[in-house]
Structure 1
Amino acid sequence: MSVGTASRVGALAWSRVNGYARTRRALAPLIATLVLLAILHAGGAAPGVEAYGTSALVLLPVLAWQAKLVLDAEPDDQRLLSSTVVGGPGREVIAGLVAALLPAVLTIVVALVLPWVIGAIQSGHALSGLLFGLWIHLLSALTGLAIGAWASRATSPDLGRATLTLVIGVVLVLALGSGSVDPLGWLVPRLTSSVRAANNNAFVDVLLLSIHALAWIALVLAGYTRARLTTRP
């Protein structure tokens, strides 16, 4: 991808984020994030790995919902024009995914900073807890992006289908990802198992589970991209 093309893709992604913010769709996920984090951390200080791991799981539905809202912010007819501007439908899809992921940056920053502000993180092993928190929230955001993309209007035009895709996707990740129903756990990112492994200082397991999660995310997003490219924008 040339510099000029990358610039157009970036400009399209940023314009979609601006549209998402201008229509005030961003308020609901932000409020939900603050409420969930306030409830989660109301019990007092906890080790960083435990606190951040739990918040990444709790925020998964919000991150998936947020991604869907961003992808749905642009009218259907506008996507065809956007595809022409950036040089093809593939680049339009990339711009959409980038735009859908960008608001998650703010969500992650809030999730990492707020517990420190309200004194919900214990001081011991603070750096390792923060690094794990950043990583597990990133995995949660990417998982939410994959679910939210499939629940977006472009691939799930019916509201009922979109809602089921969003809810079932999140529930399956949280339920199967705990590892309690093996061998089905490999079907989804095992975020819950990753948090448990980190709490047990089993960092090799965290690495292996992270590789599996990234492979799942890449596969699901590749399927979404293929579905988008074989249908009219």
Structure 2
Amino acid sequence: MIRYLLADLLRSQRFVPPFVLFAACIGVLYGGDPGNARPVYGVSTLLVFPLCAWLTVIVANNEDPVQRRITVAAVGGWPRMLGGLLGAGAVSGGVLVLLAVALPPLINFHHPYQLDDLVLALVAHLISLCVGLALGLVCSRPLIPTTGWSLLAVLGACLVLIVSNDVPPVGPTAKLLFDPARPPATLFLLGQGAVALAVLLLALGACHWLGRRRG
């Protein structure tokens, strides 16, 4: 199921705009001397969050409603379809996470990247991935039927969460990165990760319940 959805995504080429936007933002961030590693990773953490949500919406809405019903019947029901959507969204968003964490040490060679910086950045970006997956799932079919409204909902929710940067887990995690003098707080990160997983599980539960009712 995941392989089918990813192949369909590649054929549609609808993944190109979020990846182009990601490349443009990374180019701006690292075009000059961005300074210490952690603050810039904080920016990319906030960037990955809406892009992962956008990619999840694209994966979820790539098929038209008629084709979606056929696919659901072919794979044996909505729960398997939902698992495939989650897996395909995680893979496509995971590519962004890997690029966001691995590219800066190659580009920004003026500043050393310590192992704890990379680990902290990876955890922060994975938290953004989880929340982005959750937001993308609840902003796509069957909860929101059209892609245009889905993307508007994603944009609105991301603006609220990013501007109100005290709302866990993405905002507080990014604020930790913005302060390079602040030591990594393992318990804090574990707490934010737990919140991100809880948000994702709630989103899956809502999609599972509504998808079965409408299926």
Query: What is the TM-score with the length of structure 1 in the denominator?
Result: 0.81
> How far is 1:43 from its partner?
4.3
Matches within 5 A, 1:158-197: 158-159=146-147, 161-176=149-164, 178-179=165-166, 185=167, 189-197=168-176
Residue 210 in 1 paired to residue 199 in 2? no
Residue pair 1:47, 1:121 contacting (<8 A) in 2 also: no
* Ranges of 4+ aligned residues in structure 1 off by more than 6 Å: none
Matches within 5 A, 1:222-233: 222-232=205-215
Q: Which blocks of at least 5 consecutive residues in structure 2 are unaligned?
A: none
Q: Which blocks of at least 5 consecutive residues in structure 1 are unaligned?
A: 1-11, 180-184
Q: Match for residue 201 of structure 1?
A: 183
Aligned length: 211
The alignment partner of 2:35 has SS state of: coil
Instruction: Report the AA paired with residue 19 of structure 2.
Output: L
> How far is 1:196 from its partner?
2.3
Larger relative contact order (C-alpha < 8 A, sep ≥ 6)?
Answer: 2
Q: 1:143 aligns with which of 131, 137, 140?
A: 131
The separation in 2 between residues aligned to 1:56 and 1:202, in whole angstroms, is 16
Residue pair 2:142, 2:210 contacting (<8 A) in 1 also: no
Percentage of pairs with the same residue: 23
Q: 1:61 aligns with which of 32, 50, 61?
A: 50
Cα deviation digits, residues 75-120 of structure 1 (max 9, x gap): 2222222222222211111111211221112211221222122216
Residue pair 1:149, 1:224 contacting (<8 A) in 2 also: yes
Residue 122 in 1 paired to residue 111 in 2? yes
The separation in 2 between residues aligned to 1:64 and 1:58, in whole angstroms, is 11
The separation in 2 between residues aligned to 1:165 and 1:100, in whole angstroms, is 17
The separation in 1 between residues aligned to 2:146 and 2:64, in whole angstroms, is 15
> How far is 1:64 from its partner?
1.1
Cα deviation digits, residues 1-52 of structure 1 (max 9, x gap): xxxxxxxxxxx11111111111111211111110011112234143333222
Residue pair 2:50, 2:132 contacting (<8 A) in 1 also: yes
The alignment partner of 2:88 has SS state of: helix
Query: What is the TM-score with the length of structure 2 in the denominator?
Result: 0.88
> How far is 1:162 from its partner?
1.9
Q: Match for residue 71 of structure 1?
A: 60
> How far is 1:121 from its partner?
7.0
